[in-house]
Amino acid sequence: MSTTKPLPVINREEALPLGIDYAALMEQAIGHVAKYSGEVWTNYNASDPGITLLQNLVYALTELGIKADLPMQDLLARSDGKIAYDDQFVPPQEALTTNPITLEDFRTVLLNEVILIKNVSLEWQDAAPPQVDLPGVAVTVETMPDMMGPAPTSLPNAMSPVFQSVQQVLHKYSNVAQHFHPPTAYPTVIPEFSVTIGLEPEVIPEAYAARLLFALNHFVSPFPEWHTLPEHQSAGYSTEMIFSGPKVSRGYLTSANSPEPKSLVDIQGYELESLILNLDGTNRVQNLIYKPVQETTCKELVSAVTDSTASTEANPPPREEPEPPVEEVSVKKIPLFTWHELYCKVSFTQNDAPVGKLNVSKIGYYLERLMPALSAEGQLFPEKISGNYYDLQDYYSMQYQLPSIYNLTNASEFGMDDPAVRGKVKQLKGYLALMEQTMADFLAQLAHLEELFSFGSGRSMQQVISKTYFFQGVYGIPGIQKLMVGAQDHINSPTHGQTEQQAWQEYQQDPFNAYWRHLTAAQ
């Protein structure tokens, strides 16, 4: 079977853009000729010099069409291929995002700006806490767990660095008349949990223990997993969904990162057994015991947190009325699975033999490698595209395309003996130069899109107006120096031993020559 690739072909039925479709442009041009020339007019054949000029003019126009049809990144590219994005475009993460408005927006900025938070829940409460006289938003924080240490003996208070960071972020973004209650923490409890797990022969027990710890705690409350913008888009999130809310700096979270962690009593033993069986390296699961403590009221714990929060206020004013008694509140307890020797009741078997005591340092090493990165890995936003640079302003005179019998490119064209012929050639050259000046100016305008697209004025401190019309000299037209006012005199009067070519170059570089002054006055 042949693997030769088919040769690329041009689809003749594919419509070209009008600016580069020579046949369509020529058809329109002929229509204009028929409209304005009267009843007796050209026969359209090649012997008609008017048709020859028209054909070359249309052909020259296709150069402008080809350049104007280039991709936008090529039109704006500088000589190094880069685009001045800062001066010309506002990226979507800047233009489409807003300051946080909804509670979900505030949750997003908290997770983005407070690194030690694993999860946070915000909920409107009409009933004000005892130490606050205003209704507002209750903020409940879950901090990153220590899966190798003992159970925490107390909840964080308002003076803890995490809570202070949370309050600073909320104060930074809070809207007018929006009130947030002092943050509180989910109580963490180590459940009664034991299990015997049979491992596959090739499994490293310490690495498996780390995966087990991570999977159990991730099941209770998913760790934030940050994604880049391209990753988020490939996951099916639309532009409206992604940028509807505050700007992010660490990455984007998926809907799997629920604001509500699982409670101690929400988890069933069969769920944990299924979770362990699905871990790589598990051979069998035996003797799994999970006994959640029945959720009870936590009056003392809530009182301690509220008292410590109130004590942070400097010289609080005395209350005229006694404080109302603290109501008993049912506190949601979050299970923490840890490898601490006081609590860990997980044992392994491998090759039908018990596995000895594991190296705790190795478990910590593998666990650290499993933890999600603190921000999206890779470039958060796509790399800014660059373009291919083209010298858009470069103009090649159409007079080089015309038949040599027209004498437009002959160096001695004006040296002919017949004054009538010299006059006709000069007249035709001047007539064509007017059209070529227009086309050259269009190319100059196209080459300066960067300035026209810029947010800046494009002018210096000394300039009064901003330039919006660009032009260029058509010094490349053959023999044009014989038509420009003052050019021939300058060439015929060389100074300091200049050649005619040097004198002509000097005329072109003179910003005050008569031709350039005319172009400048027309802008």
Query: pLDDT band at residue 154, thresholds of 50, 70 and 90?
Result: low
Whether residue 128 contacts residue 135, with contact meaning beta carbons closer than 8 Å, is answered with: yes
Residue with tokens 């490939």: 234
Domain ranges of the chain: 15-69, 95-294+330-370, 391-483
Q: State how far the Cα of 64 lies from the Cα of 235, in Å rounded to an integer.
A: 42
Picking from 376, 390, 410, the residue whose alpha carbon sits closest to that of residue 75 is: 390
Q: Between these two residues, 292 and 196, which has the higher pLDDT value?
A: 196
For residue 63, what pLDDT is reported?
A: 93
| Residue 211, pLDDT score | 95
- In the DSSP assignment, the letter for residue 203 is -
Confidence of residue 214 (pLDDT cuts 50, 70, 90): very high
Measured CA to CA, the distance from residue 394 to residue 476 in angstroms comes to 10
What mean pLDDT, rounded, does the chain reach?
82
> Which pLDDT score is estimated for 302?
38
Are the CB atoms for 221 and 372 separated by under 8 Å?
no
Percent of the chain past pLDDT 70, that is, above it, reads 81
pLDDT above 70 (res 309): no
pLDDT digits (tens, 9 = 90+) for 348-360: 999 989 999 999 9
| pLDDT score, position 469 | 87
Question: Which of the residue ranges 50-64, 290-304, 490-504 would you say has the lowest mean pLDDT?
Answer: 290-304
What is the per-residue pLDDT for 16? 85
Average of per-residue pLDDT across 205-211: 95
Mean predicted confidence (pLDDT) in 336-350: 87
**CB-based contacts of 523, cutoff 8 Å, min separation 6:** 467, 469, 470, 471
Q: What is the pLDDT of residue 150?
A: 74
Predicted structure pTM score: 0.67
CA 179 to chain centre: 33
Res 436: pLDDT: 95
CA separation for the pair 125, 369 (Å, rounded): 39
Q: What percent of the chain has pLDDT over 90?
A: 37
Lowest mean pLDDT among 69-73, 125-129, 190-194, 268-272: 125-129
Q: How far is it, in rounded angstroms, from Cα 326 to Cα 117?
A: 28
Weakest-pLDDT range from 156-165, 261-270, 314-323 = 314-323
CA dist 316 and 332 (Å) reads: 30
How far is 239 from 140, CA to CA, in rounded Å?
30
- Terminal alpha carbon distance of the chain: 65
- Cα separation, 190 vs 452, whole angstroms: 65
Sign of CA dihedral 288, 119, 314, 307: negative
Using left for φ > 0, alpha for ψ between -120 and 50, and beta otherwise, residue 93 falls in: alpha
Higher pLDDT, 39 or 89: 89
- Give the per-residue pLDDT at 493: 78
The label of the residue with tokens 């419509």 reads 15
Cβ partners under 8 Å of residue 392, min gap 6: 67, 75, 443, 446, 447
Distance CA(438)–CA(443), nearest Å, equals: 9
Cα angle: 171, vertex 172, 174; to 5 degrees: 60
pLDDT in tens, 217-237: 999 998 888 899 999 999 888
Rounded CA separation 67/519 (Å): 23
Residue 280 pLDDT? 94
* Backbone angle region of 15, left / alpha / beta, with phi > 0 → left and psi within -120 to 50 → alpha: beta
Could you tell me if 85 and 92 are in contact, meaning their C-beta atoms sit under 8 angstroms apart?
no
Q: Find the mean pLDDT for residues 30-40.
A: 79
Distance of CA 425 to the CA centre of its chain: 57
- What secondary structure does DSSP assign to 46-107, as a single string? TT-HHHHHHHHHHHHHHHHHHHHTS-HHHHH--TTS---HHHH---HHHHT--S--SHHHHH
Distance CA(415)–CA(407), nearest Å, equals 11
pLDDT score, position 406: 85
Residue 42 in this model has a pLDDT that exceeds 70: no
Interstrand relation of 282-291 and 192-199 (parallel, antiparallel or unpaired): antiparallel
Residue 238 to residue 26: CA distance in whole angstroms = 45
- Report residue 231: phi and psi, to 5°: -65, -40
CA distance 261 to 121: 9
β partners of residue 285 = 197
Query: Lowest-confidence range among 85-89, 115-119, 457-461?
Result: 457-461
